Amino acid sequence: MADWKHTALLVIDMQHDFIDVAGPMLVNGGKAIVPNVIKAVQIARQRGIQVVWVVREHDPLGRDVELFRRHLYPAGKVGPTVKGERGAELVDGLVIEQGDYKLVKTRFSAFFATHLDSFLKGSGIDSLVVTGVQTPNCIRQTVFDGVALDYKSVTVILDATAAATPDIHAANILDMKNIGVATPSLQEWSELDALSSGYQ
């Protein structure tokens, strides 16, 4: 029987402000992958994989956001993914359940200035599966950091991640493939046995 107890599924930035058509940080390809992200979470739960919800939540005044984005948080206006606002909530169909883990980040990488690595290593996790948005920013930086931190296996589900355009998505997937990251489709990943070598 497959053993997935050393694997974590990272669901990155699947929040209203990134996915909704009227969202201030809309990722054009984001809405199309919602069903596949939901399915990936379902498969992870069935396999006993640790689900980690990685989200941006910012101070209302934008004091913890990157310098180049601080103009989006003027006084009297609600900026993107402000803690407690609807824009920072997960999109419909994605729900944090008991046993899941929520990690708040304020930069592209889920590892930067967070305790994600210590949480994962402390939980016996040595393999990562990544879903969410968007491929050239938060997905890519998290994946590259995961590789740099010597996670045994890093996988990006091809059709459960997205970027502004298919070309941008494909170019970044290729870069990640070239550093040894597996890039299966959701269907391929759903059929993958934990003890097999996976897809490259």
User: How do residues 22-51 score in pLDDT, each as one tens digit?
Assistant: 999 999 999 999 999 999 999 999 999 999
Taking 90 as the threshold, does the pLDDT of residue 159 lie above it? yes
Every domain of the chain and the residues it spans: 7-192
Task: List the beta bridge partners of residue 53.
Answer: 11, 102
- What pTM did the predictor assign? 0.95
**100 flagged as catalytic:** no
Region 7-192: CATH code: 3.40.50.850
Q: Is residue 4 over pLDDT 80?
A: yes
pLDDT for residue 193? 77
Phi first, then psi, for residue 34 (nearest 5°) are -55, -50
Could you confirm whether 105 is annotated as catalytic?
A: yes
10 - beta bridge partners? 52, 130
Which pLDDT does position 3 carry in this prediction?
72
- Out of 61-75, 106-120, 182-196, pick the least confident: 182-196
**40 CB contacts (<8 Å, ≥6 apart)?**
9, 11, 129, 131, 157, 160, 186, 189
Q: Single out the catalytic residue among 13, 17, 145, 159.
A: 13
When pLDDT is averaged across residues 166-180 and rounded to a whole number, the result is 98
> Exposed, middle or buried, 101 (CB in 10 Å: 0-12/13-18/19+)?
middle
Catalytic-labelled residue, pool 39, 105, 145, 159 = 105
Could you give the strand order of the β-sheet that contains 101-105, starting from the edge strand earlier in sequence? 101-105, 50-56, 7-12, 127-133, 153-162
Of all residues in the chain, the percent with pLDDT exceeding 70 is: 96
Give the pLDDT score at 189. Answer: 97
Span 172-177, average pLDDT: 98
